[in-house]
Structure 1
Amino acid sequence: MRGFFLQNKTGLKERLENNETVIVAEGYLFEFERRGLLKAGSFVPEVVLEHPELVRQLHEEFVRAGSDVVLAFTYYGHREKLRIIGKEDQLETLNRRALKIAREVADETGTLMAGNICNTTLYVKDDADAIEKCRSIFKEQIEWAVEGGAEFIVGETFADPGEALLALECIKRYGRGLPAVISMSPFAKDTTYDGYSYGDVCKQLEDAGADVVGLNCGRGPATITPLIKDAKLKCKGPLACLPVTYRTTEKQPNFQSLADPVTGQKAFPVDLPAHTCGRTEIREWAEEMKALGIQYIGLCCGNASHYLREVAEVYGRSPPASRFSTDMSQHFVFGNRKDNNPYYTETMRNYMVQ
């Protein structure tokens, strides 16, 4: 349908147990904000309510680029976030609609469909009331995801190990046996608030029963890599790695800490384009992850289909979007085809590149 190919329809756990790779497109919030369809700051997926057809299109676009998973766009679509913008009464509608869209696209394209929960913004360690509110948020979103046909549940972008463990507990309790993918979001320090290394937290989540553990968001390819390597040393099962697509550095290790190279002001979130990775960087990072044996691989904030295609091709895929992969041999100036005018090509090349 619509030029797609039907993919391998075995489940997540079966693929991973067979040492297969699962490629996952994330980054819906930032892409829709870039398109003017949700607000930076609140980052609530209102586009699901207002333009569901565009959500479907982006799911399809990511599948064409190589994603094995259609991730329901319910990230930050939870009760607390909708309360902030005064739309809590549309909470269930948003979640069920997002799940329905994702299920339909997954069915049409032969991909897996995942439900999505995330950091609640409410979690406070040792605060019983806050923890119970978080539990309630996870419970309702997980139950809707199960009813909506999710094949596994992603719990992601947790800063506190306690909230990640709570999310996992809720998936195991309310998810009716669905696999759980749980990932932490590393920020400026190489440890969590409590001083734990991210590798140690991943091991703790794995021991608690998560089917996949790892890292997503926060850091770009350059600075997430040392942390996932540490997790690889400590964990036995499959790991997830989904960085943002920004050039984070040792001095500015996460994308919230990046400074605009011209003004020196904080770049997050609206001036991040000055720090975007090149496709070559994404490809080289994907090659390193493949060599490391990362099975659940993808990209988070800043992701776009041309980036994801690089990852898919490194992992040996030829998705429909590969038909349009770069071929500079056809360029009228920089190409080397014999049917290009050699005099014109050389003249223009010298003119354009001194």
Structure 2
Amino acid sequence: MGLKRTIFLERLSRGESIIVAEGYIFEFERRGYLKAGTFVPEVVIDQPDLVRQLHEEFVHAGSDVVLAFTYYAHREKLKLIGREDELEQINLKALEIAREVADRTGTLMAGNICNSTVYEKGNPEKERNVEQMFKEQIEWAVRGGADFIVGETFGDYGEAKLALDCIKKYGNGLPAVITLSAPLIDVTLDGVPIVKACQDLEAAGAAIVGLNCGRGPATMLPTLKEIRKACKCPIAALPVPYRTSEKEPTFFSLTIPGTDRKAFPIDLPACLCSRWEIQQFAEECKNIGIQYVGLCCGNASHYLRIVAEVYGKNPPASKFSPEMDKHFIFGRKLETNTYFTEHVKSQIS
């Protein structure tokens, strides 16, 4: 077992927190380098320097992990855009970039597999196909020098368990982080209660279990509390930074405020959390003992910096954390400058 993967496990055993930036798919779509709908990480091949820069930006904001951008870089997704013959290239390039940034910044590097989009419970042929998809990506992650492997965004317990089994079988001893994407209710798509699914994944050998994607902070936290009570291993929490609610529990169900129009995915910015809400989420996660924490689709570096700071970290980006007492309108000048006190303050209060 390599040094860094040993460090990863030692940090967990000491109870240390690990901040994790996800959300590469949505960020590159916003920036115009990836298409909503197919959501294939073509940017890895087409603009590798941009991927490198986003890794660096997230580390600057406080991420302890450089997550290789191989999410949806699997056969089924690449078929959609006619680039299946570039499957190995895209995976190895993503891993190479992530390893380079992790080594240079002293952070951990994780390989990444995710929901296959074709898993079907009780269909042996499809399960074999999914296993093959996982196998090749895991073997590339090992080849690329990953310190651990993330398997994420699984709506079915069966697919999550298959991902874990494949990491154990093909991952050369790399630790596995397995996260479910909880649907509208706390039961997986194949009928397993979310808490029990996490317990079973822990018992099957996952180093970390928990939730990612789908739900925002408000609707993920109650389930996280139950998982924390039920499981002994470290828990992962990576919500989407959107204002989900009891009425609209996932970002798939969100509507644009004031309308009945679905927000996903193009109009989700209308439903973004405030920075204060992200801070509240991070504080609650810290209070209940969540060790592996970050944000998923919709994440941006200013959000991640808040999570890192709540967890007591001082990333380079903290040098530029807001200091509104120095603002020309909202700062101390209002108390000393007669013009602003008399003419401006009255207009903004």
1:264 aligns with 2:248: no
1:234 aligns with 2:251: no
Could you tell me which residue of structure 2 aligns to residue 298 of structure 1?
Answer: 294
The amino acid of 2:232's aligned partner reads K
Structure 1 residues 273-327: Cα deviation after superposition (integer angstroms, max 9, x where no partner): 1100000000011000000000000000110000000000000011000011011
Residue of 317, 321, 325 corresponding to 2:317: 321
1:330 aligns with 2:326: yes
Aligned residue for 1:253, secondary structure, equals: coil
**TM-score normalised by structure 2 residue count:** 0.97
Distance 2:333 2:8 in 1: 44
Relative distance call for 1:159 and 1:9 in structure 2 (3 A) is closer
Aligned residue for 1:241, secondary structure, equals: strand
Distance 2:224 2:194 in 1: 8
Relative distance call for 1:340 and 1:43 in structure 2 (3 A) is farther
Could you tell me which residue of structure 1 aligns to residue 130 of structure 2?
Answer: 134
Could you tell me which residue of structure 2 aligns to residue 52 of structure 1?
Answer: 48
Residue of 44, 53, 65 corresponding to 1:69: 65
The amino acid of 2:66's aligned partner reads V
Q: CA deviation at 1:262?
A: 3.5
Could you tell me which residue of structure 2 aligns to residue 223 of structure 1?
Answer: 219
Runs of 4+ in 1 over 3 A off after TM superposition: 337-340
Q: CA deviation at 1:90?
A: 0.6
Structure 1 residues 142-179: Cα deviation after superposition (integer angstroms, max 9, x where no partner): 00000001000000000000000000000001000000
Distance 2:69 2:305 in 1: 20
Maintained 8 Å contact 2:158/2:190: no
Relative distance call for 1:10 and 1:204 in structure 2 (3 A) is closer
Structure 1 residues 106-157: Cα deviation after superposition (integer angstroms, max 9, x where no partner): 0110000000000001111111100000000000000000000100000000
How many residues of Structure 1 are paired with residues of Structure 2 in the alignment? 346
Q: CA deviation at 1:342?
A: 4.5
Aligned residue for 1:236, secondary structure, equals: coil
Could you tell me which residue of structure 1 aligns to residue 36 of structure 2?
Answer: 40
Distance 1:210 1:164 in 2: 10
Alignment of 1:117-156 (within 5 A): 117-156=113-152
1:99 aligns with 2:95: yes
Could you tell me which residue of structure 2 aligns to residue 3 of structure 1?
Answer: none
Q: How high is the sequence identity, in percent, across the aligned residues?
A: 63
Distance 2:209 2:326 in 1: 43
The amino acid of 1:125's aligned partner reads K
Could you tell me which residue of structure 2 aligns to residue 343 of structure 1?
Answer: 339
Residue of 158, 161, 164 corresponding to 1:165: 161
The amino acid of 2:244's aligned partner reads T
Unaligned runs of 5+ in 1: 1-7
Q: CA deviation at 1:336?
A: 1.8
The amino acid of 1:140's aligned partner reads E
Distance 2:338 2:174 in 1: 60
Distance 1:41 1:9 in 2: 35
1:20 aligns with 2:16: yes
Aligned residue for 2:112, secondary structure, equals: strand
Maintained 8 Å contact 1:9/1:110: no
1:255 aligns with 2:271: no
Relative distance call for 1:277 and 1:346 in structure 2 (3 A) is farther
**TM-score normalised by structure 1 residue count:** 0.95
Aligned residue for 1:11, secondary structure, equals: helix
Could you tell me which residue of structure 2 aligns to residue 189 of structure 1?
Answer: 185
Could you tell me which residue of structure 1 aligns to residue 106 of structure 2?
Answer: 110
Unaligned runs of 5+ in 2: none
1:201 aligns with 2:189: no
Aligned residue for 1:260, secondary structure, equals: coil
Distance 1:191 1:314 in 2: 30
